[in-house]
């Protein structure tokens, strides 16, 4: 799918990716939804993102999306009220934001999977309602708002919605792939042996 360049395309892409994410989760057996990620060591060695070891289950992935929605919502809301704030809260910047992600993870270790799903659904709705209040020009003209710097507001919105959902889908598909191989192995080990 090409990168959105209109509000209509941005909202459509965000909703489509969110629906794909929810459908993927709904298709997961409960046992797999509740399972700790068990990625193959060889696979993990080839991965570069800190999230491969940080996010350990479905809840962690959903909370990560929720927290990035909150970043977007708070950033836009604060700046619209005249409170000039950067996208990443102090003391973080684009070099140190992995530490912020780690703190999001830490803060939600007692959040349930059910609560994570609810929080994400609600924050998705809020983010899209906020996006819907902007025009195409406001979303996709560079330097339209002083607080977006040289990046368009739409780029931030895409990053916090459809692009982030795509990241989550890929990670959860890898979890499903690992879980399927694991379940197949367990099934074969438990299956009665045929006598020869």
Label each residue of the chain as H, E or C.
CCCCCCHHHHHHHHHHHHHHHHHHHHHCCHHHHHCCCCCCHHHHHCCCCCHHHHCCCHHHHHHHHHHHHHHHHHHHHHHHCCCCCCCCCCCCCCCCHHHHHHHHHHHCCCCCHHHHHHHHHHHHHHHHHHHHCCCHHHHHCCCCCHHHCCCCHHHHHHHHCHHHHHHHHHHHHHHHHHHHHHHHHHHHHHCCCCCC
- Please answer whether residues 80 and 128 qualify as being in contact, where contact means their C-beta atoms are separated by less than 8 angstroms: no
23 burial (CB, 10 Å; 0-12 / 13-18 / 19+) is exposed
What average pLDDT does this structure show over 21-35? 92
- Of 26-30, 90-94, 178-182, the range with the lowest mean pLDDT is 178-182
Token readout for 180 is 């399927």
Residue-level pLDDT at 185: 41
Task: Read off the pLDDT of residues 42-78 as tens digits, 9 standing for 90 and up.
Answer: 666 676 676 777 889 999 999 999 999 999 999 999 9
Task: Read off the pLDDT of residues 108-123 as tens digits, 9 standing for 90 and up.
Answer: 999 999 999 999 999 9
CA separation, residue 14 to residues 50, 107, 125 (Å): 24, 26, 10
Count of Cβ atoms closer than 10 Å to residue 31 Cβ: 9
Question: Structural domains in the chain?
Answer: 7-182 (1.20.120.450)
**Whole-number mean pLDDT of the chain?**
89
CA separation, residue 160 to residues 96, 142, 196 (Å): 18, 18, 58
């Amino acid at each position: 799918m090409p990168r959105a360049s209109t509000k209509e395309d941005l909202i459509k892409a965000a909703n489509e990716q969110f629906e794909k994410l929810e459908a993927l989760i709904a298709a997961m057996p409960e046992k797999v939804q509740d399972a700790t990620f068990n990625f193959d060591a060889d696979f993990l060695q080839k991965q570069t993102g800190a999230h491969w070891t940080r996010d350990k289950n479905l809840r962690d992935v959903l909370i990560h999306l929720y927290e990035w929605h909150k970043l977007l919502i708070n950033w836009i809301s604060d700046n619209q009220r005249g409170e000039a704030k950067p996208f990443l809260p102090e003391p973080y910047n684009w070099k140190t934001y992995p530490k912020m992600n780690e703190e999001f993870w830490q803060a939600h270790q007692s959040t349930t999977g059910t609560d994570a799903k609810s929080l994400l659904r609600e924050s998705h709705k809020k983010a899209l309602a906020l996006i819907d209040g902007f025009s195409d020009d406001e979303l996709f003209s560079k330097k339209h708002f002083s607080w977006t710097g040289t990046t368009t507001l739409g780029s931030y919105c895409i990053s916090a919605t459809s692009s982030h959902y795509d990241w989550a889908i890929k990670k959860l598909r890898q979890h499903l792939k690992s879980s399927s191989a694991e379940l197949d192995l367990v099934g074969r080990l438990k299956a009665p042996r045929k006598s020869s």
